[in-house]
Amino acid sequence: MAQKGSLLSVREDVRVLDATLRDGGLVNSFNFSDEFVKELYEANVKAGVDYMEFGYRASKELFDESKFGKWKFATDEDIRAIVGDNDTDLKISIMADVGRCDFRNDIKDRSESPVDLIRVACYIHQIPGAIEMIKYCKEKGYEVSCNIMAISKLQESDIAQALEMVCQAGPDCIYIVDSYGSLYPEQISRITEFYQNVTDKYGVALGIHAHNNQQLAFANTIEALKHGVSYLDATMSSMGRGAGNCAMELLLGFLKNPKYSFIPVLKFIETQIPKVKAEGSVWGYDVPYLLTGIMNQHPSAAIECVANKNTNYREFYEGLLDKD
């Protein structure tokens, strides 16, 4: 598979997306202060980041508002209170999960919203629902991407069929999603080529969203980049569910495009991340996450293990073996 670009070249097709509020929100139930969100927005603008994801557009009928911060629902009004008219080059994104949102009521015309990109997330059995949402959001005037989750558990034939169906719905981008942090760079290389065999036919861009269970989120991200993936997800200080994601400071430190600067990111991490950790938020590499990554399992058991400060790793591993 041919390499696209080099360590010294600039790829004009590359887009960096900050997913701190959305994936990081899974760590603290989206209870971010307005100061944190405003500082994050300003840091992304100064750093030249292309997109900032403001959380989920979840249904208030399905989820109890009292149990979550407002970025679980990421209303247009709450986003606008942070960004105003967003007279910047930074685009605004939200994620909408198939089956967990009321998109026909909660997603208005693009002309009425501060949001630019809607990221539709689904599992393989929800592809028809994802297609319906993609078409709806495109008709409303939005950029749209599709995140097919947990692909490390799927048959290639099923992924190929899903990609064909989704591409025909007309998204701007489809994401390679390593939900369990179980994939290795060599696999990412093959998966990228596999996806491109479909997406290139339809002119659909590729993105990657990586998790850090085996400390490979950054490595997998730049491996995908090397082989032609354009949209790159990252979070500040790797903040995200369980082991976290590709660290923004690593990614911007790697990219050679002079439009990006990681100095504002470093300043944000210095001033804001310690406050979130002091409030009790915990994320990042730990042995239980390594084990669920190796076993290609959802990190929910590892999250519970870490929360309970359980360091009986052998027993935990044996429990994972029993699940297979």
Q: Report, as an integer, the average pLDDT of 262-286.
A: 97
Q: What is the DSSP letter of 5?
A: S
Give pLDDT tens digits for 72-124: 999 999 999 999 999 999 999 999 999 999 999 999 999 999 999 999 999 99
Alpha-carbon distance of 214 to 211, in angstroms, equals: 8
Residue 94's nearest CA partner among 109, 111, 114 is 114
Q: Which of 273, 282, 298, 291 is nearest to 244 (CA)?
A: 282
Q: How confident is the model at residue 6 (pLDDT cuts 50, 70, 90)?
A: confident
**Rounded-to-integer distance, Cα 153 and Cα 138, Å:** 29
CA pair distance 237, 30, nearest whole angstrom: 16
Residue 33 confidence (pLDDT) above 90:
yes
Place of tokens 């979550």: 68
For residues 54-60, average pLDDT:
98
pLDDT of residue 322: 83
Residue 1: the pLDDT is: 67
Distance CA 177, CA 200 (A): 18
DSSP string, 14-33: -EEEE-HHHHTHHHHTT---
Per-residue pLDDT of 145-178, as tens digits, reads 999 999 999 999 999 999 999 999 999 999 999 9
For range 275-284, the mean pLDDT = 96
